[in-house]
Amino acid sequence: MRESINMSLPSKPEYVSVARLTASFVANQMGFDIETIEDIKLAVGEACNNAILHSGSDETYKLEFIKLSDNLTIEVIDHGKGFSIEKYKKPEAEELQESGLGLFIIKSLMDSVEIETSEGQGTKIIMSKIVE
C-alpha cells in the first residue's frame, strides 16, 4: 500500500495549521496513538516554520505525506536559499536556548530524518515514523 497526499501552502504562518491538521488526519487514519500524533504534528509544524522563516522564499512551499502500510513519511520542500548543514550547530544541553531548537526537536520526535539542502538550492526535509 502506498498513498500520497501532496499540497502546496502559502509561505505564511496562518496556513501551518493546514499542514498540522493533515498530519493529524493521516496519522490517525494509520493507527498512531494520540501522543505520537502530537509528536508528528509538532515535527511537521517546525519544518513548516523553517520553510516560512528561513527559506527566504515568500511564495509557497510543498508538503508530501506518504502512507506506507507501516510507515508515514512526510517531506517538507522549499525552493528557497537552503543552508549549510556543516555550519548547523545542534543545541547544547547545558545552555538554555530559546531558539535553534526546531531541527533538534524534529530529530528527537521522528524515527528517521534526512535533510537535503545546500546554499542556494532550497531544502527538503524527509521525516518518517513507523507504526508500532
Ligand X SMILES: Nc1ncnc2c1ncn2[C@@H]1O[C@H](COP(=O)(O)OP(=O)(O)OP(=O)(O)O)[C@@H](O)[C@H]1O
Which residues lie near ligand X (CB under 6 A)? 46, 50-51, 54-55, 78, 80-83, 88, 99-104, 123
**Nearer to ligand X (CB atom), residue 27 or residue 76:** 76
Contact flag: residue 50 with Mg ion (CB under 5 A) = yes
Contact flag: residue 24 with Mg ion (CB under 5 A) = no
- What is the full DSSP assignment across 45-84? HHHHHHHHHHS---SEEEEEEEEETTEEEEEEEE-S----
Indicate which of ligand X, Mg ion, none lies near residue 83 (CB less than 5 to 8 Å, by partner kind).
ligand X
The Cβ of residue 109 has, within 10 Å, a number of other Cβ atoms equal to: 19
Residues in the chain: 132
* 45, 80, 82, 102: which one binds Mg ion (CB under 5 A): 102
Indicate which of Mg ion, ligand X, none lies near residue 15 (CB less than 5 to 8 Å, by partner kind).
none
For residue 123 the three cell numbers come to: 531544502
